[in-house]
Amino acid sequence: MTDQAPPAYSGPRRVLSGVQPSGALHLGNYLGALVKFARLQHEVETFIFVADMHAITVWQDPKLLAGQVREITAAYLASGLDPKVATIFPQSAVPQHAELAWIFNCVARLGWLDRMTQFKEKSGKHKERSSVGLYTYPVLQAADILLYKATEVPVGDDQRQHLELTRDVAAKFNHDFEVPGFFPLPEALTQGPGARIMSLRDGSAKMSKSDPSDNSRLNLLDDADAIAQKIRKAKTDPEPLPATLEELKDRPEAENLVGVYAALDGRTSEAVLAEFAGQGFGAFKPRLADLAVAKLGPVSEEMRRLMADPGEIDRVLADGAERARAAAAPILAEVRKIVGFWGA
Ligand code: TYM
């Protein structure tokens, strides 16, 4: 007998992604995720949610959480997502996410979760005191994706490992329950210079909501002065910019700023270097600041306008939740049957 690969998934393409409402959104979230959502919605059926169930794996003030969900939604809309085209919803309003996550908790293996680097980073020295939810977080993420049989997941580079786990869960489910091709093996869409934006203070650390230094990131709600000042203060080196990416290899801060410029301008880093080769940061930084203000200014202005009308945001979320529940229900009903639950 020969080993044959199981039949591949043959359903339609679908995009799904989400962002946690756990702090101010920054340039990394915008370039690594949000701008891609807006682009993809016109090509493929797109589901974008606010990951509030993921957010509570670490403490969130209950008085603030719903407001944070609205803020992320405002950022989605301000960066071009159209609620008539994409389905935009809060994760916790679709209870099937939790139901499928439980089933996947029984499919995923402890050894797989033990390898997750994000849990190690987030739990630090206090593993025993971390919530169980923080540990099984990637399993919920697999459920988010597979509940809609999503085939493509636009995310930053830091989510690659979670996507690999999603594929492992899908493959094991298909195999163990003998339903080849039932779940797709989704791809992480991480192409482009925006997939890994680094801290403005340290080119070896990623730009992050949890960095204690606000100067390390450009927040989507920063005003023009703050953006210009943070870029002026960004760590660099005294060398001029080279002509090739190869020569930037050991200059992480310089490489990052070139990448930011490229991602904001919708160009490649090579094209940016072709324009700025030979120039120092004294010339490059003001140009980058102008570009960042021109691109981010309208986004933050639109976010503020939307946040002033929470009723409109809530209508978008309620409508999206209804559509998401309707899309999830038949898939979860099939899963219940496959697992053999009573009454399914
Ligand atoms: P979160 O909320 O940490 O980040 C949201 C998105 O922003 C990307 N990102 C970055 N991209 C480039 N450079 C950076 N410095 C940077 N920092 C963050 C992230 O990769 C992400 O795409 N686990 C997810 C949320 C989630 C999810 C999902 C995503 C839950 N379920 C299902 C996709 C599919 C997270 O914590 O993202």
The DSSP-derived string for 56-95 is TTS---HHHHHHHHHHHHHHHHHTT--TTTSEEEEGGG-T
**List of domains in the chain:** 14-189+309-339 (3.40.50.620), 214-305 (1.10.240.10)
Rounded Cα distance between 169 and 148, Å, is 14
Distance of CA 202 to the CA centre of its chain: 21
The pTM assigned to this predicted structure is 0.96
Phi, psi of 88 (to 5 degrees): -115, 125
Q: Over 90: is that where the pLDDT of 9 sits?
A: yes
The one catalytic residue among 36, 63, 120, 122: 122
* CB distance 292 to ligand 1 below 6 Å: no
pLDDT of residue 268: 94
pLDDT for 3 equals: 65
Cβ neighbour number for residue 74 with a 10 Å cutoff: 27
d(CA 6, ligand 1 centre) in Å: 31
User: Does the structure show a pLDDT above 60 at 125?
Assistant: yes
- Mean pLDDT value across the chain: 96
The answer to whether the CB of 207 is under 6 A from ligand 1 is yes
Ligand 1 pocket check for 46: Cβ under 6 Å: no
Ligand 1 neighbourhood includes 28 CB (under 6 angstroms): yes
- Ligand 1 center–CA 91 separation, angstroms: 14
Residue 241 CA to ligand 1 centre (angstroms): 30
**250: pLDDT confidence band, cut at 50, 70 and 90?**
very high
Coil, strand or helix at 7: coil
* Ligand 1 atom with least separation from CA of 33: 22
Does 197 contact ligand 1 (Cβ within 6 A)? yes
Mutate to test the pocket of ligand 1, among 14, 159, 207 (most ligand atoms within 8 A of CB): 159
For residues 63-92, give the mean pLDDT.
98
Name the residue with the closest Cα to ligand 1, atom 33: 17
The reply to whether 149 belongs to the active site is no
Ligand 1 pocket: which of 71, 158, 217 to mutate (most atoms within 8 A of CB): 158
Q: Is 322 in the pocket of ligand 1 (CB under 6 A)?
A: no
- Of 65, 100, 13, 3, give the one whose Cα is nearest residue 328: 100
3-state secondary structure of 187: strand
Q: What average pLDDT score do residues 144-167 get?
A: 98
Q: Examine the pLDDT at 2 and tell me if it is beyond 70.
A: no
Please confirm, yes or no, whether 63 is among the known catalytic residues.
no
When computed from its CA atoms, the radius of gyration of the chain, rounded to whole angstroms, is 21
Q: What percent of the chain has pLDDT over 70?
A: 99
pLDDT tens sequence across 289-317: 999 999 999 999 999 999 999 999 999 99
3 state DSSP class of 56: coil
